[in-house]
Amino acid sequence: MTKSYHVAVVGATGAVGTQMIQLLEDVTFPIKEVSFLSSARSAGKKLTFRGEEVVIKEATPDSFAGVDIALFSAGGSISERFAKDAVAHGAIVIDNTSAFRMHPDVPLVVPEVNPEALRDHKGIIANPNCSTIQMVAALQPIRAAYGLNRIIVSTYQAVSGSGIQAIEELQTQSQAILSGEEFTPAVMPVKGDKKHFQIAFNALPQIDVFTDNDYTYEEMKMVNETKKIMSDASMKVAATCVRIPVITGHSESVYIEVEQDNVKVSEIQELLRNAPGVVLEDDTANQVYPHAASSAGKKEVFVGRVRHDLDDSKGFHMWIVSDNLLKGAAWNSIQIAESLIEQEII
Amino acid sequence: MTKSYHVAVVGATGAVGTQMIQLLEDVTFPIKEVSFLSSARSAGKKLTFRGEEVVIKEATPDSFAGVDIALFSAGGSISERFAKDAVAHGAIVIDNTSAFRMHPDVPLVVPEVNPEALRDHKGIIANPNCSTIQMVAALQPIRAAYGLNRIIVSTYQAVSGSGIQAIEELQTQSQAILSGEEFTPAVMPVKGDKKHFQIAFNALPQIDVFTDNDYTYEEMKMVNETKKIMSDASMKVAATCVRIPVITGHSESVYIEVEQDNVKVSEIQELLRNAPGVVLEDDTANQVYPHAASSAGKKEVFVGRVRHDLDDSKGFHMWIVSDNLLKGAAWNSIQIAESLIEQEII
């Protein structure tokens, strides 16, 4: 008998939770029941799932009775509060927040890169940061073939990574500027930080708050998570993370240095053309390259502008784009659930 | 007797020409006469300069009789057509287009970096590309103190670098998207190229057309102009140039490697704090960093987010922002004129 699963989504009304629920409609594994959970504020709202009405309930420690897979995306504090309850009830938690990502007992997984790490789970599995996921998914085939010594990345990140309030702020602020009206920034770059700046028609070099080393947490997530996912603490990784006025779709300007000599651009392009979850869009003669607007709503990671560094024979530049709510969050979480089932871990 | 100058502006109605005329109002050197020149289409329009009405005239070879300084910013083909006429009439041409920048007989000048190059002029002086100017102005003090081996830059460039049509497209397209209306991209990324893509709420990794090596002309301008301005053909320079939905103000994520060992971030910050034309805005604890919206309308180059690379002791990252129409174009041209006069070259 094929096993059927009870799946919970915590943060069901958020930007990522909404996407998770849509993606669950079409998963390949059998679903016997869903629980859509939220804060008390959103509880009672109704959603339609596979043609049936589902009432959103307030998340409590007992919400996870009978749940097999619990997808969390309601902020780190909610994950810290309820993940252990879910695990105690026998669920496997797939957590989209940064709460557990660097915990040594928690696998941090991008299924195209390190699905084997799922076997070591102790109840909680972490979904990496959006900007990390798309980068490692694109770089993994290159690393597997030629080795990878160094990554320098500058990001062009969409506001939806900061949630629905950030999307609303970008829209209302853009309209205010176009109409010549006053506005007061209140959400970006970081809702909980001291100062807020204009995001419409601007670029802000701050995502998440600053750490003691003058990098932001977002930048250090890219550094530390990349090393963990790729199991290579010695890899050189540096990041500059920048918020730009895009609603959905993160773009990344990535420089890499491979280990092997004499690698050709055409070889890297061929690897990416055949890599799982990656789409090569790279034909400069015909202006073919990915961009946020062309990638939003799609599950894959798109790569273009692959070219040799002009000075370093082992250096290459490329442009990596993906939907930050899908592959960067909801879709990667769903893929982790599918991989757990395919590997018969659950 | 103090000399007084006849100054011509070619491209008087363009995005940069308009800024040049505004800046000429306040220059320190005496102006005895101005000639504002344009295409036949804009000829006859009237501008006010220092309280007097000036009629814009169509540029012809004879427009430059008696002109001492001719500021060109009407596109490369206009410069190619008329610059020699201006020189033949005895004017010094300061050209803001890319027409003559890499010509060995043409000084390419950022006055904070290489004012001495002006002495070798043969009638034409080139103003560098906007994205190059702000970068070399910020890096020059670091290079002078510690040497500079390598630059890797990813840009976040405003649409006004593509002229008034690009600004209008960003505005009307943004409004269409906010209103849920259809739109057809027609200008960006490059008006004269085959395809056009959405620029509102998007990021396009193409500025200018592509060259044979899969870099764009804009990227190769940054590479070649930086080497020429800094008189160092062996410096490693790589660029990824990206257009984002900002009206005015280019931002740059810049990685550098210095030659000297044991350079401290605080030393670089101190250099930048005291550098001519540069303003250090760098205090992460108080969310102080430059951004396009805070820099637009100002003449200086703003630098923040200075931090050590996490792996390479000679590596540093920083964020460089400037108004692309001012220091990136009109103001640098005016500064060249001022420097010619200060150095008694004219």
Give domain status of residue A173, yes or no: no
Q: Taking all residues of chain B, what is their mean pLDDT, rounded to a whole number?
A: 97
Residue type, position B22, single letter: Q
User: Domain range spanning residue B32?
Assistant: 5-127+329-342
Residue A8 has pLDDT above 60, yes or no: yes
Question: Which of B264, B305, B312, B313 should be substituted to probe chain A, the one whose Cβ sees the most A Cβ atoms within 10 Å?
Answer: B305
Nearest to A284 among B210, B236, B238 (CB): B210
Q: Residue A2's pLDDT is what?
A: 80
Q: Taking all residues of chain A, what is their mean pLDDT, rounded to a whole number?
A: 97
The answer to whether residues B99 and B70 belong to one domain is: yes
* B174/A238 Cβ within 8 A: no
Give domain status of residue A185, yes or no: no
Q: At A82, which helix (H) or strand (E)?
A: helix A76-88
Q: Residue B2's pLDDT is what?
A: 80
Give domain status of residue A233, yes or no: yes
Going B57 to B58 to B59 to B60, the CA torsion angle's sign is: negative
The answer to whether residues A313 and A338 belong to one domain is: no
Roughly what angle, to the nearest 10 degrees, separates helices A15-24 and A331-342? 40
- How many Å apart are CA A108 and CA A332, to the nearest integer? 11
Q: Which residues of A touch B193 (CB under 8 A)?
A: 287
Read off the pLDDT of residues B117-163 as tens digits, 9 standing for 90 and up: 999 999 999 999 999 999 999 999 999 999 999 999 999 999 999 98
Degrees to nearest 5, angle at CA B17 with B16 and B22: 100
The answer to whether residues A249 and A119 belong to one domain is: no
The answer to whether residues B163 and B277 belong to one domain is: yes
The answer to whether residues A78 and A46 belong to one domain is: yes
- How many Å apart are CA A292 and CA A262, to the nearest integer? 32
* A205/B305 Cβ within 8 A: yes
Nearest to B205 among A174, A197, A305 (CB): A305
Give domain status of residue A195, yes or no: no
Residue A1 has pLDDT above 70, yes or no: no
Residue B308 has pLDDT above 90, yes or no: yes
Nearest to A203 among B215, B255, B291 (CB): B291
- With CA atoms as reference, report the closest residue to B322 among B112, B156, B74: B156
Q: Give the pLDDT mean for B83-104.
A: 97
CATH code of B13's domain: 3.40.50.720
The answer to whether residues B26 and B144 belong to one domain is: no
Catalytic residue chosen out of the listed positions A6, A130, A196, A291 = A130
Read off the pLDDT of residues B196-253 as tens digits, 9 standing for 90 and up: 999 999 999 999 999 999 999 999 999 999 999 999 999 999 999 999 999 999 999 9
Give domain status of residue A239, yes or no: yes
Residue B279 has pLDDT above 80, yes or no: yes
Residue A181 has pLDDT above 60, yes or no: yes
The answer to whether residues B254 and B145 belong to one domain is: yes
Question: Which of A155, A190, A310, A313 should be substituted to probe chain B, the one whose Cβ sees the most B Cβ atoms within 10 Å?
Answer: A310
Ramachandran quadrant class, A138 (left: phi over 0; alpha: psi -120 to 50; beta: rest): alpha
The answer to whether residues B163 and B77 belong to one domain is: no
The answer to whether residues B123 and B169 belong to one domain is: no
Read off the pLDDT of residues A211-240 as tens digits, 9 standing for 90 and up: 999 999 999 999 999 999 999 999 999 999
Q: Name the residue with tokens 């931002």.
A: B251
Nearest to A214 among B236, B247, B307 (CB): B307
Give domain status of residue A190, yes or no: no
Residue B115 has pLDDT above 90, yes or no: yes
Buried b (16+ CB within 10 A) or exposed e, B32-59: eebbbbbbeebbeeebebeeeebebbeb
Instruction: Give chain A's domain count.
Output: 2
Q: Give the pLDDT mean for A256-266.
A: 98
Ramachandran quadrant class, B91 (left: phi over 0; alpha: psi -120 to 50; beta: rest): beta
Is A16 annotated as contributing to ligand binding?
yes
Chain B: give the shortest CA distance to residue A259, in Å. Answer: 16
- How many Å apart are CA A162 and CA A257, to the nearest integer? 31
For residue A189, cis peptide bond before it (omega within 30 degrees of 0)? yes
CATH code of B161's domain: 3.30.360.10
Catalytic residue chosen out of the listed positions A250, A291, A308, A317 = A250
Give me the interface pTM, i.e. the ipTM.
Answer: 0.96
What is the three-class DSSP state of B94? strand
Q: Which residues of A touch B287 (CB under 8 A)?
A: 189, 193-195, 206, 210
The answer to whether residues A59 and A136 belong to one domain is: no
Residue B1 has pLDDT above 80, yes or no: no
The answer to whether residues B213 and B241 belong to one domain is: yes
Size of interface A-B (CB pairs under 8 A): 166
The answer to whether residues A211 and A103 belong to one domain is: no
Q: Would you say B209 and B227 are in contact if contact means Cβ atoms under 8 Å apart?
A: no
Q: Give the pLDDT mean for B63-84.
A: 97
Give domain status of residue A191, yes or no: no
Residues of B serving a catalytic function are 130, 250
Q: Which residues of B touch A245 (CB under 8 A)?
A: 201, 244-246
